[in-house]
């Protein structure tokens, strides 16, 4: 498996991590090696095997549909890098 520079840039874009051309080059080798090593999984015959997402296969518990938390605006905003009034501030997204 090879992950070329462009593929690295595409994944990094999906993960929202800025990657320079230089770094993409290094990561291409790194990720390629790791994925090659992981490809040993292909040796395993998994025909008809149900994927296991979690060992906890019980149905998730139900609870009453009632409010159990809230009115903690101040706490929610407390660690934000930038706040205006009761809002998080982000760079402008609407033209």
Partner 1 sequence: MSDLLKMTAAQALSSLSKKQISSVELTTAYIEAMEATHELNNYVTSTTELAKQMALDADKARADGNAGRLAGLPIGVKDLFCTKNVMTTACSSILNGFVPTYESTVTSRLWESGGVMLGKLNCDEFAMGSSNETSVFGPAINPWSARDGEALSAGGSSGGSASAVAAGAALMSVGTDTGGSIRQPAAFCGVVGLKPTYGRCSRWGVVAFASSLDQAGPFTRDVEDSALIFSVMAGHDAKDSTSASMSVPDFSEAINSGVEGMRIGIPGEYQMDEMDNEISDLWRQGRKWLEQAGATMVDISLPHTKYALACYYIIAPAEASSNLARYDGVRYGNRIEAETLDLMYEATRASGFGEEVQRRILIGTYALSAGYYDAYYLKAQQVRRLIKQDFDTAFSDVDAILTPTTPSAAFSLGKPVTDPITMYLNDVFTVPANLAGLPGISVPAGLSKQGLPLGLQVLAAPFREDRLFSVARTIELQAQFSLAPARAAGELQ
* Contact footprint for partner 1 (CB under 8 A): 3, 8, 11-19, 27, 30-31, 33-35, 37-38, 40-44, 46, 49-56, 60-61, 63, 72, 75-76, 78-82, 88, 90-93
Nearest residue to 12 (alpha-carbon basis) of 25, 1, 2: 25
Supply the minimum distance, in Å, between the C-beta of residue 90 and partner 1: 5
Supply the minimum distance, in Å, between the C-beta of residue 27 and partner 1: 7
Given the complex with partner 1, which of 56 and 67 has the nearer CB atom? 56
Nearest residue to 79 (alpha-carbon basis) of 71, 88, 68: 88
Supply the minimum distance, in Å, between the C-beta of residue 70 and partner 1: 13
Question: How far apart, in whole angstroms, are the C-alpha atoms of residue 8 and residue 25?
Answer: 8
């Amino acid at each position: 498996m090879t992950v070329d520079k462009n593929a690295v840039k595409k994944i990094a874009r999906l993960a929202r991590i800025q990657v320079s051309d230089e770094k993409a080059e290094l990561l291409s080798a790194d990720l390629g090696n790791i994925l090659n090593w992981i490809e040993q999984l292909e040796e395993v015959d998994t025909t008809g095997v149900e994927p296991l997402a979690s060992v906890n296969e019980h149905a998730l518990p139900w609870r009453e549909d009632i409010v159990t938390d809230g009115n903690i605006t101040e706490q929610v905003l407390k660690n934000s890098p930038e706040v205006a009034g009761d809002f998080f501030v982000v760079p402008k997204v609407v033209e």
